Homo-oligomer: A and B are copies of this chain.
Amino acid sequence: MSKDERPIAVKIAESVRSRDSRVTELSDFYRWYSEYTRNMSIDVRCIALDELVGWAPDPVTGNLSHHSGKFFSVEGLNVEAPGSPVPHWTQPIINQPELGILGILVKEFDGVLHCLMQAKMEPGNVNGVQLSPTVQATRSNYTRVHAGLSVPYLEYFRDSSRHKLITDVRQSEQGSWFYQKRNRNMVVEVTGDVEVLDGFCWLTLGQLHQLLAVDDLVNMDARTVLACLPFAGAGPLMAASSADSEFRAALLRSCQGPADGPGSTDEVLQWITDVRSRSEVIATKMPLRALEHWKRGDYSIAHETGRFFELMAVDVQAGSREVQRWTQPMIKPCDPGIVAFLVKQVEGTLQVLVHALVEPGYLDVAELSPTVQCTPRNFELLPPEALPPLLGEITGARPDQIRFDATLSEEGGRFYHARNRYVIVEADADATFDHPDYRWMTVRELVGLLRHSHYVNIQARSLVACLHSLSGQPSAA
């Protein structure tokens, strides 16, 4: 079989195993990256909401939107969830009906797939720059509403028929902060020459997997696109060998199996139907001005308890972005969160405990989420039954149970310093947890669902990328 005819899953598996690359050594990457970010000037200043330029509250509703009608708006949301621990609340929410593109360009060098990644500045990043997909653009971005520079490499994704489309699926984003937002997660393979612009570099999946373990380096948009790659199905290449640790062997087995067989997948789909049918949640947009228990100050709209999150505004001056200076509203969480998968080995195969979680911003009631996804501090004020049942298993895990542990950032274009501890904890094989909203699944089942919209939420997708990062060779080149 010629190199070009290899199935994409095989190319992916080979790239995962390529922990170093003839294109960019990881040590060179670090050198380049730190130099690039050092030279990048960025100044993000919190400003009063009234100081926003081009953004104004609607005189009637108080909803905040851009005078162009583009980008996004901040509105109010009324949530009724009868029978749940918090049956009613109101909150601000970001309404961004535009479908954006998150795209990674991939290309083989010496027969190994590489991803073109971008060192991208976003105002909400704690560290200014993070490693991002090749393209990360809202429709307003690329239709040039803010008269900025054009989006490099966009043409590969807007006219993908000229290249090989590997992944193209619309996925949701944070269901507690976004109203029905979706982005198109795309991977396009090219064979021709690609000019590498300033701020971009080629990395293998194996290299990206190593970088995932670094705090605040691989950004949320890169993680979700990586999770949507058609992993698995690579057969012998991903078969466990005697050299593997027991954990890695179980993980590899969990990534194999029929793509979407009639058996287990049907049961998973019926379970999702059941959760979505019995969960009643009615989310209705309301005027931002009319929110209950939220107070508008000069610098923020914040919950009267000081918990959850704030709506605030920033003035940004940056040395490298489509527009050099702008102001915008952002959402700033008050505390860091925890996002965790509990996993266990069952007859040599890794299983992941998934939670079908209802969030008000989802288009379709509930999505599969991590075992635990929460901001622990918020629960000091909520009824005890609202506390995620398995939080203690994560925060109290023994060091030898922790398979992955890194603090990663959420999207820096809308969220200010939003960080979560992403953890994968291995439970004992006999761990059980019987709850109709939770289910043990294989990685293969999750990957099968990722071909569709509305099934796996953004936090779980990040963890799927982290899980895949544990499947590479520990040391071999």
Contact = CB atoms under 8 A, between A and B. Distances in A.
Contacts of A184: 273, 277
A391 interface: no
B453 A266 contact: no
Contacts of A230: 262, 266
A259 interface: yes
Contacts of A451: 265-266, 269
Contacts of A282: 97
Given A260-B259, A266-B451, A277 B99 contact: yes
A168 B271 CA distance: 9
Contact of A452 (B97, B261, B269, B274): B269
Interface string A344-376: 000000000000000000011000000000000
Contacts of A270: 165, 168-169
Interface in A311-334: none
Interface residues of A, number: 30
Interface string A159-170: 000000100111
A452 B268 CA distance: 11
Contact of A273 (B168, B259, B260, B277): B168
Contacts of A165: 270
A350 B9 CA distance: 29
Contacts of A170: 273, 276-277
A199 interface: no
A46 B95 CA distance: 43
A104 to B, nearest CB: 15
A279 to B, nearest CB: 10
Interface in A138-191: 165, 168-170, 184
Nearest to A271: B168
A269 B169 contact: yes
Interface string A239-270: 00000000000000000000111100110011
A233 interface: yes
A78 to B, nearest CB: 15
A233 B260 CA distance: 13
Contacts of A363: 363-364
A172 B273 CA distance: 13
Contact of A169 (B169, B260, B273): B273
A27 to B, nearest CB: 36
B276 A168 contact: no
Contacts of A260: 259-260, 265, 448
Contact of A262 (B259, B269, B274): B259
A97 B280 CA distance: 10
Given A259-B261, A364-B454, A452-B452, 12 more contacts: A9-B262, A168-B273, A169-B270, A169-B273, A170-B273, A170-B276, A233-B262, A259-B260, A260-B265, A266-B451, A269-B452, A454-B454
Give 8 closest A-B pairs by Cβ, nearest first.
A260-B260, A168-B270, A168-B273, A259-B262, A269-B451, A99-B277, A184-B277, A169-B273
27 contacts: A9-B262, A97-B282, A99-B277, A168-B269, A168-B270, A168-B273, A169-B269, A169-B270, A170-B273, A170-B276, A170-B277, A184-B273, A184-B277, A230-B266, A233-B262, A259-B260, A259-B261, A260-B260, A260-B265, A265-B451, A269-B451, A269-B452, A273-B453, A363-B363, A363-B364, A364-B453, A364-B454
